[in-house]
Every structure is written in C-alpha cells, then in structure tokens.
Amino acid sequence: MPGGSMDPEAGAVMFAGFEKTSDLIKSLPPDLFAELCQQSIQHLQSQDGGVDQSVLFQRFQAAGVEVNVENLRNVTNAVTSLFSTAAKHKLSCEELLSAVLRSSKLPKSILQVIRHVWNQEGKYLAELEGVKDLVPVGQVVDLQWKIGMAVSSDSCRSLNHPYVTLVLKVADYSGQITSKVLEMTIPEFQNFFKQFKEMSAVLETV
C-alpha cells in the first residue's frame, strides 16, 4: 500500500511502549506472537469485542513462556498501538518495519510475523473510516445480570431485600477485557431500565 508520513512525536509515542516490551517479545514463539497480533488487528477492525487476555495468558503458560498478567497487558497495548498508529499514518510495510528496527532489535522470526500481518491487514485497516480516532475508549462487549437477596449491607438497607447485579464486560482500546460490577435496588434498576427505553426510543427516530 502507498506509504504515508508520520511526525517524530507520533513516532516516539508509537514505539515507546514497543521498545519497553521488546525483551519479552523476543522470547515469544512466533506462532503465539502472530496470534496476539491477529487478535489486536481484529479488535481494531471491530471484528470482535476485544483481546481475551486470559486465554492468551493460558496459551503462553502452556508454551512455557514466563509472563505475568501485567507484562502480557503491556505487550498487547504495545502491539495495538503499533498497528493503530501505523494505520493512522498509512505506513507501508517497509516503513513500519524500518521504524520497528530503529526502536528495537527483534529477531527475524518476529519481524516476519509483523510483515505478514501488515501485508495481509494493513491496507484494510488504514482505509477504515474513522481510523484516525483509534484512541483509548471503552467498549461494552457483554452484559450479564442476576437477581439476589441481600443478607448484609454497608448502606444498612433491610435484610432479605431484593437487588439486581449487573456485570459489564468492557474492552479498552487495546482490547483488554475487564468486568465492571453494578449493584442496584429494584427501584434503581427500574429507573435504569426506563432510561434505556427512552434512549432506544430516541435512537429509533434518528
């Protein structure tokens, strides 16, 4: 694809995280790194809700890669930032690899993965409408709920009082999925539901 240009400040931000995680990236088997890259690309293309890091973490452990959750999160963020910024500036494959090599000394096998993924997906990602807006923002990927009965409460509400628990699974810009738990009384939930119905009614008129 045609190459683009990238200002030095954007490049510094783009590769800062990648450089910090290069030692760990060097230790990754190419197939696992390719899987991480593909999940990051799919997340940026909004083909799925996010990168399931719990599954990746298990895969890394099974392969004997010494990595903790925080390190895996950092690598995922770095890879996602790499591809999103490259897409925003419409970098060619050679431009991307050249910039990667300037910031870190990665083995040929890892560079081949980046080359393959960007040759396959880079053009499409760069042409996506709104790619310039790839910024940290949360995306709800799942919502679960259940009704329970309170047996104790910090707010001193009556025991045996029904309540609703909502569990929101949210993916951040890198695709990392976290769970947010909300607990509401029945009147609070009814008000919450009413507001959603009002939002839905407005959206139907747009």
- pLDDT tens, position by position, 28-76: 899 999 999 988 888 787 755 566 777 788 888 888 888 888 888 888 8
CATH code of 200's domain: 3.10.450
pLDDT digits (tens, 9 = 90+) for 1-34: 445 555 544 455 555 556 677 788 888 899 999 9
Same domain, 46 and 14: yes
Phi-psi region of 186 (alpha: psi -120 to 50; beta: other; left: phi over 0): alpha
Task: Find where tokens 């890394």 sit.
Answer: 60
Is residue 2 in a domain? no
- Residue tagged 């909300």 (tokens): 182
In a domain, 176, yes or no: yes
pLDDT in tens, 142-166: 788 888 876 655 554 556 678 889 8
pTM of the model: 0.59
> Per the structure, how many domains does the chain have?
2
198 falls within a domain: yes
Distance CA 182, CA 170 (A): 13
The reply to whether 101 and 16 lie within a common domain is: yes
Last residue of a domain, one of 133, 163, 195: 133
Q: Does residue 77 share a domain with residue 178?
A: no
- Domain holding 177, by residue range, is 139-204
Which of the listed residues 115, 133, 151 is the one where a domain comes to its end?
133
How far, in Å, CA of 155 to CA of 39, rounded?
42
In a domain, 3, yes or no: no
Which residue, of 87, 110, 133, is where some domain finishes?
133
Q: Are residues 119 and 159 in the same domain?
A: no
Kindly state whether residue 191 falls inside one of the protein's structural domains.
yes
